[in-house]
Amino acid sequence: MTRAQTRLMPGGQVKLSMYYEYGAIETCKNVVAGTVKNAIAVIQPPGHHAKSDEAMGFCFLNNIAIAARGLTEGWKTSVLARELAQGIGDSEYVATF
């Protein structure tokens, strides 16, 4: 997490966001490993506007991109975004894969 993101996040939000990220990564890993058939990680804010070096659109961390990045360590990974307007940060993160 960058200084800019930490500076913008209120008090316990940094720690809380780290729990969200861990949950998103573990959810994805369990689906890919076949431990569960399917799953959903309900996380707010969704993070799709957050860029790698700055928070945007009320999003501090890009949950989907970070979880996908966690999966690249050991599994072949594809990202399918199902939303009408692609988030600013999603394009930036996915381009780095």
Nearest to 25 by CA among 15, 45, 10, 39: 39
Catalytic residue flag (residue 48): no
Residues 6 or more apart from 26 whose CB is under 8 A from it?
none
* CA pair distance 26, 23, nearest whole angstrom: 5
* Residue of 49, 55, 66, 89 marked active site: 49
Which residue numbers are catalytic? 49
